[in-house]
Amino acid sequence: MKIAMVNDTFLKGRGADHVIFEVAKRLGEKHSVAVVTTTADFPEKNFKIIQIKGRKLLTGSWKDFLGFLQFFKYRKLADKFDIINLHHTTLNFAFIGKKNVVVTYHGSPPPTGEKSFRYFFRNLVNKTNRFSLRFNDEIITISKHAKKELIREKVPSEKINVIYNGVGPEFKSLKILKDENFMFFVGRHEHHKRIDELIKISKDLNFPLKIAGIGPETEKLKKLVKNLNAPIEFLGRICEKEKIKIYQKCSFFVSATRWEDYGLIFMEAAACRKPSIGYNICAIPEVILHGQTGFLANNYHELKIYCEKLIKDKEQRNKMGKNALKFSKEFNWDKTAEEYKKLFKMVDISV
């Protein structure tokens, strides 16, 4: 098969782009695979990168409207490949009427912040994108929660295939377990991540928290830490090797995010034999088994209580960490790539 995996970006540190890289390099061992994008910093590995002139979609700027002009460039690809796998739902409009298109729906982060033009525009785009999926023959979602989200938008359930993302073999437990008495969070610093709640918990329980990543909320969060005099360390942007080391050294992973359509960070922690705590919302219950691999909180009060439990009980941390490691074995990129291949072959035969 000749396969094109298409997204507006192909950059390290971005969730959908990482999925493309892991799947493409595996499918490329036996098939001809190309990653089509406007900008890339991933290396070519069993696939080639085709860069087209264009810009990132949906940045919140008025220039977003110019992004739709590049749809014609994307559409020209349709007849050059057996399968077109889209990883940005907005690009679906560039391929209307094409039967060889499979969309991977990574979810739509809720628009947050001030009710501005940007807020309403993003909300409209999210709804329009989900509506467009009604007319596709095959769709991939990265969780059961994402599938339910599309069903609520009247997308036929029989068209939706749940294929979980994997965890790379580089995420692994140390032979001798390390626990250096700190909580860990990694992710983009955005409003819906509610990192401020983690900072307050760290202050109230007097237990260190290390925060990796950057984003539009970073400076605001640093001011909060200074005002509270909380035991927080901002690590900034870190590489994969450093991230793995911190997973391996932390006591447990914690997130207060209000939206997660998969939750790779929880599975990365699990693969490093660490329990996680998160909210009982979206797809998080699919990657944290409550009371076994970590805890699911229904509100901020419970989130704080569960953090206190794990802080005080190292034996429970170890037990949950072992369960988490075992659970993480169910999620691997080889399995993910194999499921993509099976679906692509089915679509290729029917076209």
Q: How far apart are CA 37 and CA 56, in angstroms?
A: 9
Count of positions (residues) in the chain: 351
Question: Would the pTM of this model clear 0.75, i.e. be above it?
Answer: yes
CB crowding 85-123: b at 16 or more within 10 Å, else e: bbbbbbbbebbeebebbbbbbbbbbebeeeeeebeebbe
Question: Residue type for 138, please?
Answer: E
Does residue 52 or residue 272 have the better pLDDT? 272
Dump the DSSP string for 196-214: HHHHHHHHHHT--EEEE--
Is the CB of residue 271 less than 8 Å from the CB of residue 167?
yes
Mean per-residue pLDDT of the chain: 91
Convert the pLDDT of each residue in 109-168 to its tens digit.
766 655 566 667 777 777 888 889 999 999 999 999 999 999 999 999 999 999 999 998
Token readout for 175 is: 């032979």
Q: Break the chain down into helix, strand, coil percent, rounded to 5.
A: 45, 15, 40
CATH number of 2-166+332-350: 3.40.50.2000
Residue 342 is encoded by which pair of tokens?
């099976």
Q: What is the pLDDT of residues 8-47, one digit of tens each?
A: 999 887 889 999 999 999 999 999 999 999 999 999 999 9
pLDDT band at 183 (very low <50, low <70, confident <90, very high): very high
Higher pLDDT, 251 or 125: 251
The pLDDT of 267-286, averaged and rounded, is: 97
Best CA proximity match to 320, nearest among 145, 173, 197 = 173
Classify domain 183-328 at the CATH superfamily level. Answer: Glycogen Phosphorylase B; (3.40.50.2000)
CB 287: neighbour CB atoms within 10 A?
Answer: 27
Q: Is the pLDDT of residue 216 over 70?
A: yes
In this predicted structure, the answer to whether residue 87 has a pLDDT above a threshold of 80 is yes
* CA separation, residue 277 to residues 138, 167, 197, 282 (Å): 34, 18, 13, 14
CA distance 125 to 23: 27
Residue type, 1: M
Q: Any idea where the domains of the chain sit in the sequence?
A: 2-166+332-350, 183-328
Domain pair 2-166+332-350 / 183-328, same fold: yes
Supply 262's token pair.
């998969």
